[in-house]
Structure 1
């Protein structure tokens, strides 16, 4: 009799506990439905994602959860040619508000002012551990978010920042480990960040300086976030502009996007441990590949391909000689060719997908090599899970602290973002992204 009573009390207690948990989950689901966690989109090099993408993608982002309100999407404006450090600082204060602080040590080391603009109208001033955000970065937007999380983990922003404030990070065509295109445009392979005279990169840097000088008169779409460098006509004279046009202290420095896109800079970040995944953040990356280089025999729509500018840049990248890099023993390059195993599938390469270890030297999306789009660090050391090229959707429960990598075959650097094409692939991407974000939101409620 006593055993029966004990079991009855135990069952009653368990029922009450399960009921309270269920009620808590229902309450949390209702709260999440009323206020779905926003998605922050971060631009790439020279990007203006907000203007180019518009709002058409949101229709597919929210299609899988019609019973809930639309998810708020925030386009964060950061310096289009600034370094990852500066972009990460600008992203932080764009969301929370206040004077952009690049750090005293960083500003002194790179010769610009410590503070930038004052952000009065913050995009999400309630951003905190209790109110985290989803992030999506296209191209250099991906490494920018990684840099932001690394700075927060290092305590750079004090009590205002914590790495768990980044609930998820989705990267599309992100050059986590550098790209050879930056050398083709003018960056020197032996003395980076020096730029070759009369190269495309040198011409672009002169255009940037002219735009910076005229920045007070230009529209917001051409905002360079260069206040800390005092390059506008309000702060600099014409002789100063001429000196920068002759030799740019900005473009030819370690504090600008071109250098951060080099293999040397990527290796420096990895040596410092930057980019290690955090246990409460959900990571995912999409690696695009044109597969239309001279060494690839499977051509599709040949005429359309050769008319694309990205086809030409893809050919240039495919012929890049990695041996000219200084130092020549880059760990990044070595990790691609080590042991002859495909980087995409570090443990068990799928059948009929083993073209040789040199494959990852040249396969690219017209801007970034495939191996660089996976994640920071090589697959031999990174926590990652690579999905077959025949799989493009996430199924099952999402897991934090690990990079999930998905292949976009026959896709260019701009197939998904920042432009809206309305293609089948693009619609499927935003629909699946919306479902993935909702899965993370629900998963967070039960932790």
Structure 2
């Protein structure tokens, strides 16, 4: 029943064989909102421009950008050194060299000096009980070089090969605390950066006992999945445990499709796009028909052991992860959250028909209407449905602000900075932009001038504001002279 829209749900007779009690209400609301939102757009005169005032630093005209061997390089005419920026894609994303000439970052990698764009696999795990994990491990060896080591404990626990692909030449082999990097992560890529920093702090990479959290100069989250998302429950994760799948759901189709894709092992397709499960030896030459049947039935493979990313995005798993991940005192943290919802008559609805990507419009409404089942225990202490209704079509806005569940990390509004006031380390600065989850990736023309404003702002901060302290810079220079 959605009486506030003036419709009766019982008047809609549709057969929907999906395991979600609110589908009829969602469709009724969706049909009515198509008119309501359009009228609201016209009456309110909403403009996305006002959402970007915080990110309006001027473009530095002294920097010219080019591409050299697939890695963005910049002519810094003032001769200054450029700290590398590593762009980390989100779930279902891809790095440089995948999907032909398509750029996940829509060409943003051309805006800065040395930019690295790794491909981490679209469904590989973030973290579980803090063993070595796929995405963070691959990212480490992508930068330093060498053969990816997932760790004896993790590989034994989840039944896959301990070693993965080999990077003959690291993309930044000199990486250490004296030559740190900036990470910019979209969606789940932000959590990958945090996991890697914690692994560095815990010295979990064999042979790199000098590793520390200070190898990471900054982490910038763009629509970052910092506290999980209720989207995973709508798509099929059981809210009872935040891990297992419903028998019939969208994620079951994704699971079977990914397993068949990996089993077929068509080199052309694998070079074009990868789910990141090569270390499970799911290929038909190794697994055979029995192996395929076993993995589809749920007896083996990454989906049987929970060694994939979606369960890590549930609210329960995100709270467990955040108990382990720290905000480190010598690192800068900035979060750009996105939102495409508004309040009308006390109800949360999508804020625009024209501004939301067609693929995300219905999903935005689904997330507005989702409620945690009342008969189940809360995913964490203090959870309230009302806090999780605003969203961008994929992630709840509250999840993107800063790590805050099960406890809040130090934070401050980015808008509160005055003029040239410097950023502080060990503090999450955050702001909310009026945009959907994919507004700033894939299609540059869709975001228009706002694309340039945002990325110029991010890279300008990396270049000028988020720098090593003067004391540390002197120590580094002294070491370089004496070394």
Equivalent residue number for residue 222 of structure 1? 273
Structure 1 179/45 Cα, relative in aligned 2: closer, same or farther at 3 Å?
same
SS of residue paired to 1:211: helix
Q: 1:414 aligns with which of 410, 413, 438?
A: 438
Residues 1:319 and 2:369 aligned together? yes
Structure 1 44/307 Cα, relative in aligned 2: closer, same or farther at 3 Å?
closer
Aligned partners of 1:88 and 1:148 also within 8 Å: yes
Aligned partners of 1:101 and 1:115 also within 8 Å: yes
Q: 2:216 aligns with which of 166, 190, 193?
A: 166
Q: Distance in 2 between matches of 1:97 and 1:200?
A: 37
Structure 1 306/370 Cα, relative in aligned 2: closer, same or farther at 3 Å?
closer
Deviations 1:387-442 (A, max 9, x none): 45xx8998421211110001112x10011235433512211001111210112355
Equivalent residue number for residue 315 of structure 2? 263
1:344-383 matches, within 5 Å, as 359-378=386-405, 381-383=408-410
Equivalent residue number for residue 138 of structure 2? 90
Q: Distance in 1 between matches of 2:395 and 2:105?
A: 24
Structure 1 122/425 Cα, relative in aligned 2: closer, same or farther at 3 Å?
same
Q: 1:39 aligns with which of 71, 75, 85?
A: 85
Structure 1 392/308 Cα, relative in aligned 2: closer, same or farther at 3 Å?
farther
Residues 1:240 and 2:282 aligned together? no
Residues 1:397 and 2:422 aligned together? yes
Deviations 1:15-63 (A, max 9, x none): xxxxxxxxxxxxxxx999353111100111010254334673255x34x
SS of residue paired to 2:87: strand
Residues 1:186 and 2:236 aligned together? yes
Structure 1 428/184 Cα, relative in aligned 2: closer, same or farther at 3 Å?
same
Aligned length: 380
Deviates more, 1:202-211 or 1:219-228: 219-228
Deviations 1:298-331 (A, max 9, x none): 87554x3687221211111111112458542513
Q: How far off is 1:360 after superposition? A: 2.3
Equivalent residue number for residue 305 of structure 2? 253
Structure 1 306/123 Cα, relative in aligned 2: closer, same or farther at 3 Å?
closer
The CA RMSD over aligned residues, in Å, is 2.8
Q: 1:427 aligns with which of 452, 456, 462?
A: 452
SS of residue paired to 1:52: coil
Q: How far off is 1:242 after superposition? A: 2.0
Residues 1:144 and 2:186 aligned together? no
Equivalent residue number for residue 156 of structure 1? 204
SS of residue paired to 1:242: helix
Aligned partners of 1:88 and 1:144 also within 8 Å: yes
Aligned partners of 1:172 and 1:286 also within 8 Å: yes
SS of residue paired to 1:225: coil
Q: How far off is 1:263 after superposition? A: 0.9
Structure 2: where are the runs of 5+ without partners? 1-75, 97-101, 127-132, 473-483
Equivalent residue number for residue 461 of structure 2? 436
Q: How far off is 1:213 after superposition? A: 1.4
Aligned partners of 1:149 and 1:163 also within 8 Å: yes
Q: 2:282 aligns with which of 222, 231, 240?
A: 231
Aligned partners of 2:218 and 2:332 also within 8 Å: yes
Structure 1 181/381 Cα, relative in aligned 2: closer, same or farther at 3 Å?
closer
SS of residue paired to 2:284: coil
